[in-house]
Amino acid sequence: MSSEISLDKDDGATLTEIPIDNGTRTITNRKKILGILYGLGYNLNYIIGEDAFNPNNIWTLVRSPGITLVLYVICGIISPFGSSVYIELGIRSLPSGIGEQKYITDAFHPKRNVGHIFSFVAIFVIFPSIIVAESFTSAQYLLYFYQRSLDVNWITMATSVAMLFIITLYQVCSNRVSDIINHSLVLFKIITLLIISIVGIAKLRIDHVNWNYIFNAPFDLGAYASGLIKVLLTYEGWNNINYLIEEFKPSSDNLEYPSVILKYSSLISVGITFILCFLTNAAFITVVGYNINYNGNTPIPMRFGKELLGETGEILMSILVAISSFGCVSAIIFTYSRIIKYAAETGFMPRRISSWFTSYWKKSDTLLKQLLAQFFYCLGLSFIFMIKTKYNISDNISDFFADASQYSAMIYHAASAYCLYILKKRLYNTNNNTNPEILSIPIYVIITYLLIIILIIIVLFIPSRNGNFDYPISYCISWSVVILGVIIWWLRDRKRSEATEEFIDETDQSEETISEAGRD
432-462 residues labelled b (16+ CB within 10 A) or e (exposed): eeebbebbbbeeebbeebbebbeebbeebeb
Q: What is the C-alpha separation between 37 and 25, in angstroms, rounded? A: 21
Domain residues for 187? 2-519
Give the model confidence (pLDDT) of 27-41 as tens digits: 678 888 988 999 999
Confidence of residue 280 (pLDDT cuts 50, 70, 90): very high
Distance CA 210, CA 204 (A): 9
Residue 13 pLDDT class (50, 70, 90 cuts): very low
Amino acid at the residue 428: Y
Q: What is the pLDDT of residue 378?
A: 94
For residue 323, pLDDT over 80 is answered with yes
pLDDT digits (tens, 9 = 90+) for 342-398: 999 888 877 777 778 888 777 777 899 999 999 999 999 888 877 766 555 555 667
pLDDT given for residue 30 in this prediction = 84
| Residues 216, 404: Cα–Cα separation, whole Å | 30
Q: Residue 124 CB: number of other CB atoms within 10 A? A: 16
Element (H, E) at 15: strand 13-18
Q: What is the pLDDT of residue 505?
A: 53
Q: What is the pLDDT of residue 1?
A: 37
Q: Which pLDDT score, from 0 to 100, does residue 18 have?
A: 35
- In order of 166, 167, 329, 398, the CA distances from 163 in angstroms are 5, 6, 9, 16
Q: Are 201 and 8 in contact (CB under 8 A)?
A: no
- 453 pLDDT more than 90: yes
- The pLDDT of residue 104: 92
Identify the H or E element spanning 7: strand 2-7
Considering only CA atoms, which of 184, 202, 192 is closest in space to residue 319?
A: 192
Output the pLDDT for position 42: 93
Q: pLDDT for 395-416, tens place per residue?
A: 566 777 888 888 999 999 999 9
Q: Is the pLDDT of residue 264 over 70?
A: yes
Q: What is the mean pLDDT of the chain?
A: 83
Domain tally for the chain?
A: 1
Query: Quick check: 508 pLDDT over 70?
Result: no
- 250 pLDDT above the threshold of 90: no
Model pTM score: 0.86
Q: How far is CA 235 from CA 83, 86, 268, 323, 447, in A?
A: 11, 14, 12, 18, 21
Would you state the pLDDT for residue 315?
92
Report yes or no: 258 and 440 within 8 Å, Cβ to Cβ: no
Mean pLDDT of 118-126: 91
Q: How many CB atoms lie within 10 A of CB 479?
A: 14
What is the separation of C-alpha 213 from the centre of its chain, rounded to a whole number of angstroms? 34
Q: Could you report the per-residue pLDDT of 134-160, keeping only the tens digit for each?
A: 999 999 999 987 787 787 788 888 999
How do residues 209-228 score in pLDDT, each as one tens digit? Answer: 889 888 888 888 888 888 88
% the chain with pLDDT above 90: 43
Question: By the 8 A CB rule, do 90 and 310 touch?
Answer: no
pLDDT at residue 346, rounded to an integer = 87
Radius of gyration for the chain, computed over Cα atoms and rounded to the nearest angstrom:
24
* CATH label of the domain that carries residue 42: 1.20.1740.10
Burial 339-355 (b: 16+ CB within 10 A, else e): bbbbbbbbbbbeeeebe
Mean pLDDT (whole number) for 63-83: 93
Angle of the 256-287 helix axis to the 65-93 helix axis, nearest 10: 170
Closest CA to 194 of 280, 270, 269: 280
Q: Which pLDDT value is given to residue 498?
A: 65
